[in-house]
Amino acid sequence: MLGSFMLPGRATAEGTARFREEADSASGHFREAEGLSVSSLGIGTYLGRDDAKTDALYAASVRRSIQVGLNVVDTAINYRNQRSERAVGAALRESGQQRDGVVLCTKGGYLAFDGGRPHDARAYVEETFLRSGILEADDIVAGCHSLAPRFLQDQIDRSRRNLGVECIDVYYLHNPETQLGEVPRTEFLRRLRVAFQALERACADGRIGWYGTATWNGYRVESDDEEHLSLAEVLGAARDVAGDRHRFRAVQLPFNVEMDEAATLRNQDGSTFLEAAQASRLMVFASASVLQGRLTHELPQAVRDALAGVETDAQRALQFARSTKGITCALVGMKTPAHVDENAALASVEPLSL
């Protein structure tokens, strides 16, 4: 059973346009994607302790980000062992913002604990996933990852419950390249097609809006690397399942001043990843835009000069990410409203042309 109160609806063209009009932002802060008005900055919820204090900080930061004109919220079921999703859900309930104005994204693929790491992790996995029939032992890769359809259906509903929503706007397969460490590429692509079948069913049922892949290495390594993902092959798997009407619409990967492979490495049949994604009209969400805080201070002077017009290194790093052609939204993890205000000040500055 899902929670007794679930926010109905999903992000819509009308709702996100209303959000855009109500936001005090510069030209270019919002982008049109899949008919939605999507803010060029979004809040991420990855880091932090598994405790009530961090829950409250994230909930306050998500509320604040919505108040100051950021309508993209990114999380994952395994972030802080489901606590980040629950903090986002609390923020959505308390924000006063209508559901249709916010683009809500989460991820599944990793076996997530419930609120914290248990004393006996193996026993938890056995009880929660294996004895329940959600997973077979052979479905699990690297001791922590699965693309099995029954598992994904279960994870979607757990995420909906955590978030308190009837529909998740974007649901990512989380680091699917993890599978390539243990299975041949042909088997990986078969598993991907079966996973996409499950996600297409979830779209048809109204439990998710679109789906995609959120990766760390897959799209930014050389084409001969074991973990390399070919966007053409991934989209081909979606077309095999649902034809040209497939709902694969979004990708997420790291992109920042130091990790710029998406714009520079020609690992997609002679194109960069961003070129290939643009050609396929995909939404691209940049993770690690400030590299988990490492780009918020001591940027090289040449980088500061090239990204003039903003006040802090964090803003410069975000300006670089969101201004790069092909990036829909730059994500940044923020655990305090003060950090939200600092970074969201960039919404009043026009993006550059990079």
Task: Give one DSSP letter per residue of 15-54, joined into a string.
Answer: HHHHHHHHS---TTSEEEETTEEEESEEEE---S-SSHHH
Which residues of the chain register pLDDT less than 70? 1-4
Based on the number of CB atoms within 10 Å of its own CB, is 9 exposed (0-12), middle (13-18) or buried (19 or more)?
middle
What per-residue confidence (pLDDT) applies to 354?
Answer: 76
Instruction: State the greatest distance between any 2 C-alpha atoms of the chain, in Å, as a whole number.
Output: 58
- 32 phi, psi to nearest 5 deg: -90, 125
What does the buried/exposed string (b/e) look like for 54-83 if buried means 16 or more CB atoms within 10 Å of the residue's CB? bbebbbbbbbbbbbbbbbbbbbbbbbbbbb
- Can you read off the two tokens belonging to residue 250? 């979004």
What per-residue confidence (pLDDT) applies to 167?
Answer: 98
> Domain 13-348 is in which class?
alpha beta
What per-residue confidence (pLDDT) applies to 7?
Answer: 95
What per-residue confidence (pLDDT) applies to 62?
Answer: 98
**Pairwise CA distance, residues 276 & 278, whole Å:** 5
Residues in a beta bridge with 90: none
What per-residue confidence (pLDDT) applies to 296?
Answer: 75
For residue range 33-88, what is the model confidence (pLDDT) as tens digits? 999 999 999 999 999 999 999 999 999 999 999 999 999 999 999 999 999 999 99
- 212 phi, psi to nearest 5 deg: -175, -160
Residues in a beta bridge with 41: 330
Position 320, amino acid: F
Based on the number of CB atoms within 10 Å of its own CB, is 302 exposed (0-12), middle (13-18) or buried (19 or more)?
exposed
- 197 phi, psi to nearest 5 deg: -60, -45
**Pairwise CA distance, residues 332 & 349, whole Å:** 17
What per-residue confidence (pLDDT) applies to 1?
Answer: 44
What per-residue confidence (pLDDT) applies to 215?
Answer: 98
- Can you read off the two tokens belonging to residue 213? 């892949």
Position 84, amino acid: S
What are the angstrom distances between the C-alpha of 248 and each of 1, 236, 240?
28, 10, 12
